[in-house]
Copies of this chain bind each other. A is one copy, B any other.
Amino acid sequence: MFTLLLAGCIFALSAQTDAAHSHSHGGRKIEFPNIPGFQTLKCDFHMHTVFSDGNVWPTIRVEEALKDGLDAIAMTEHLEYQPHKEDIPHPDRNRAFDIASKFAQSYDLIVVRGSEITRGMPPGHNNAIFLTDANKLLVEDPIEAFREAKRQGAFIFWNHPMWTAQAKDGVARLTDMHKQLIAEGLLDGIEVINETTYSQEAVTIAQENGLTIMGTSDVHGLVDWDFDLENGGHRPVTLVFATEKTEAGIKEALENRRTVGWFNNILVGESDWMMPLLQASLVVEKAEYSKNTQVAVVTIHNTSDAVFQLENLSPYSFHRHADFVTIGAHETVELEVKTLELKDTFELKFKVFNAYIGAELHPELVLPVVISK
């Protein structure tokens, strides 16, 4: 090419490769946009404190959640497993919740009362949240514990079905007891993300059985350490699409399966909620033809923490990117689209490899483009 000697061009040239890099918004707060009709609440419904086998006082869980920008957490101590009982006799299984919720009163954080029904397989470990009294779940028969939770109005989900201590091959599989629980309406959700593990088999179980998809930290130590925050890591969360930011709003959303799990650049959820989340995350801000060409410069801003990994399914090729495009968290990218002829509007279409609407199923996202006048 020739040098562009027009003085006005020199800084534009310097910025040409910006699109290739990911610039985070900084900080540890988890950020995803709302979707039409719903608030996108960042929630973690599985964690432990010194009141079962965790290593912190409940107030630390509140402080972590505030630092992480969460909207809601649930306190879910093991009912039956009490390794600190010598020091913390803890006859009241509601104590962690009581302390955390009192401490959270002056913050905009919802703390949900929960408990982990902790058994061998089946049924393994299961969280009941939105309880009124955790103590009443301390019964011999696990099914009875589920029934008591339901009497209190709980939402119940199966924890880490891929846990190798209870499934040596790491594969989530429904047992007969789980099938019975589902049939009786005693099991509402399933973790597909737990701590640092992911289970695509659990995604299939959720979809085949109408269970809500959950992602949780199951943190026992410190979020800062367990999820490598110093290198930009984050805790797992469940994104909950709620009509209002209240405990009732969250419960209604969970019962209606309006969730997406988020961890390790994986977004996983049902298509009905994934598609509006992706649409809200990738915003076409501007589009105009480069002067004297049929190449449209489309400016796309990523409003989310996800790093988008996109395969181009459009009928057009790009002038600066190949057919696989990465858009970093909170980054703005200019795609130069070769539309061949000048158009007023056109569509970009991508397969979204960092999102899952099934075990190995990636959504296809259409971004309508309108050329600015």
Contact = CB atoms under 8 A, between A and B. Distances in A.
A90 interface: yes
Secondary structure at chain A's binding surface: helix, strand, loop or mixed? loop
B338 A53 contact: no
B220 A10 contact: no
Contact of A13 (B57, B83, B226, B353): B226
A168 B321 contact: no
Contact of A226 (B14, B227, B266, B360): B14
A168 B226 contact: no
A63 B194 CA distance: 23
Number of this chain's copies in the complex: 4
Nearest to A20: B264
Interface string A285-297: 0000010111100
Contacts of A84: 57
A100 to B, nearest CB: 11
Given A225-B14, A264-B320, A1 B169 contact: no
Interface residues of A, number: 111
A5 B171 CA distance: 25
Contact of A200 (B50, B232, B317): B317
Interface in A200-229: 200-201, 218, 220-222, 224-229
A20 B54 CA distance: 25
Contacts of A200: 317, 322-323
B48 A55 contact: no
B57 A55 contact: yes
A88 interface: yes
Contact of A197 (B7, B266, B319): B319
Interface stretch (A139-147, A157-165, A246-254): A157-165
Interface in A50-69: 50-51, 53-57, 59-60, 63, 66-67
A50 B105 CA distance: 21
A273 interface: no
Contacts of A346: none
A336 to B, nearest CB: 7
B14 A54 contact: no
Instruction: Report which residue of A84, A103, A104, A224 has the largest number of chain B beta carbons within 10 angstroms of its beta carbon.
Output: A224
Contacts of A164: 290, 292-293, 295, 319
Contacts of A326: 265, 309
B354 A324 contact: yes
Contacts of A293: 164, 168-170
A177 B222 CA distance: 42
Interface string A106-123: 110000000000000000
5 contacts: A10-B63, A20-B233, A63-B225, A170-B338, A266-B322
Given A5-B53, A169-B340, A171-B317, 10 more contacts: A1-B218, A2-B53, A10-B63, A17-B226, A20-B228, A21-B233, A50-B50, A164-B319, A200-B323, A322-B356
